Structure 1
């Protein structure tokens, strides 16, 4: 039984590495056996907005305690900004963590083997890094759980944020929510894809927006008031996987 299990584990690892070689850097080839393939991640990203994001918006009464004199509509907008900030920080920190993992592993391997490597591209193409990339996809869920439990992400969500109504208590409240936990799982799944899935940069307020890429929130219009939910792409400048959401207004009402 032990030998059979070891054989099955080895076959699984070899199959994973082979699949990684086939799909690496080629989003047109999808491993249909991967539960965290980009299309599935795109679906989960939409579900996160429809479900956990909506649940987090129900914290109006609690959040209102930190803002005196503001009405429910204003509190809703504040929560939206904090949720958006939390998502973007989570994605950014996961991306940095993923890059550091592979580069530090590759650099250590190259140094040990006395290899002369000068570029990041050479490092990520080392066999040990390719296998590590495949291995961490297998353990994506376990690693995301550790990231959440250790609270090792999003430590500077407030400090360097230029927002009038930013509040550490509100952010801490949201970081204990299911929304944040699922953000970590999804963002980690996004950044370990090859190529990396791309969460859109924030649109500039008071500028027009593409309605093929973003849909309106509760107000219609042709200009951006603020981003509610960023668009998600298969990779940077690649196909759109999920439309973003903006609070809009008409230019004539400026």
Structure 2
């Protein structure tokens, strides 16, 4: 058994994995149990055999027992021998149990080490997966933006395509804005306050139609959700309709865009009612009403696009401005005095569709040629 123990110790030094250690440990336990049972039975049989003393024939026949046996000499010697063997067996068993404990500790240590190694590997794999997914999301966003840009520009069959809307937005500045501006000057407004009234009207119109576009979309989504609910859901109370899928939501937005022209009169009427009291409570002014209506119509078309067109943020007074995005009004300069007309973008932070117009802070000794150049760039 000691030789086997030495062999097991040698094998334990070559353990390569927790699975290998567990296999060795199970084999060792099975052999230990077998060895213990075998030697227990052997010693038990040996004790019984030694207690049956081999007497001479003449002594067995007459029933006499040798004097030394009767005095307990041979029985005592046999008992002493058995006690010694039991002690040796117990010592070996203790050694084996100690080795089992050491083997168990080594197995637990290997298992814990392997678990920690697997944990670190999983964390690293999750980190790599997360980075890869982040890259995929960014790539998908770029792809979507490019797709939206191409779709908007190439959507030439639609009457309310983004490029057409941008043209209409510029036409408002060239036509209705000029008429409304002159009307306000005739009413006694100074130039800059009159311009501020008009650009505020554009901002109000864009916000009003954005709210209306949102309400229209919610109405269509609710109608679609209701139409797909089964009879049981209709009868039950307090049942929330299922959320629309992304594909279905896109179809609803397309429906809103396709039906946008049928709601123009409603949108114009609603916006005009919000504006009339601001300037002319007692009467209606047709010039201003035409300006209100055109702003409402064009910004309504802006807000039903997928995604909506956007008005560029206005640069602050005294800041520098991008001449690629803004034309000059009536004088040249490099710093903003005020915005006359907002720039129009394909979508939030998207490419420019129509330049805005800025009145820069006045420069000293400005030449007439510079003023003319500013007017020409404004028209472009």
What TM-score do the two structures reach when normalised by structure 2? 0.48
5+ residue gaps in structure 2? 1-146, 230-239, 366-380
Larger mean CA deviation between 131-140 and 94-103 belongs to 131-140
Offset, 1:107: 4.4
The equivalent position to 2:150 in structure 1, one of 15, 25, 28, is 28
Offset, 1:141: 2.5
Asked if 2 retains the 8 angstrom alpha-carbon contact of 1:80 and 1:228, the reply is yes
Asked if 2 retains the 8 angstrom alpha-carbon contact of 1:174 and 1:180, the reply is no
Asked if 2 retains the 8 angstrom alpha-carbon contact of 1:87 and 1:183, the reply is yes
Q: Aligned to 2:274, what secondary structure does the other structure show?
A: coil
Residue 226 of structure 1 pairs with residue 338 of structure 2: yes
Residue 40 of structure 1 pairs with residue 159 of structure 2: no
Offset, 1:82: 0.6
Residue 191 of structure 2 aligns with which residue?
Answer: 76
Residue 97 of structure 1 aligns with which residue?
Answer: 212
- Deviation per CA, 1:72-126, whole angstroms, max 9, x where unpaired? xxx2222111110001110011111111221343246447735444xxxx67x36
What TM-score do the two structures reach when normalised by structure 1? 0.69
Residue 168 of structure 1 aligns with which residue?
Answer: 279
Residue 185 of structure 1 aligns with which residue?
Answer: 297
- Deviation per CA, 1:212-252, whole angstroms, max 9, x where unpaired? 11111111111111110000001111110011101101588
Residue 147 of structure 1 aligns with which residue?
Answer: 267
Offset, 1:209: 0.9
Offset, 1:135: 3.0
Offset, 1:27: 3.0
Residue 255 of structure 2 aligns with which residue?
Answer: 135
CA distance in 1, matches of 2:192, 2:242: 53
Task: Give the paired residue count.
Answer: 205
Larger CA Rg, structure 1 vs 2: 2
Q: Kindly tell me: are residues 137 and 107 of structure 1, through their superposed partners in 2, closer, same or farther at Cα, counting changes over 3 Å?
A: closer
CA distance in 2, matches of 1:32, 1:46: 18
- Deviation per CA, 1:128-179, whole angstroms, max 9, x where unpaired? x44443333333233111222x334673799xxxxxxxx6339x74884322
User: What is the RMSD computed on CA atoms of the aligned residues?
Assistant: 3.1
Q: Which has the higher contact order (CA 8 A, sep 6+)?
A: 1
CA distance in 1, matches of 2:196, 2:210: 21
The equivalent position to 1:203 in structure 2, one of 294, 315, 331, is 315
Residue 49 of structure 1 aligns with which residue?
Answer: 173
For 1:212-223, list aligned pairs within 5 A. 212-223=324-335
5+ residue gaps in structure 1? 1-24, 68-74, 159-166
CA distance in 1, matches of 2:171, 2:279: 26
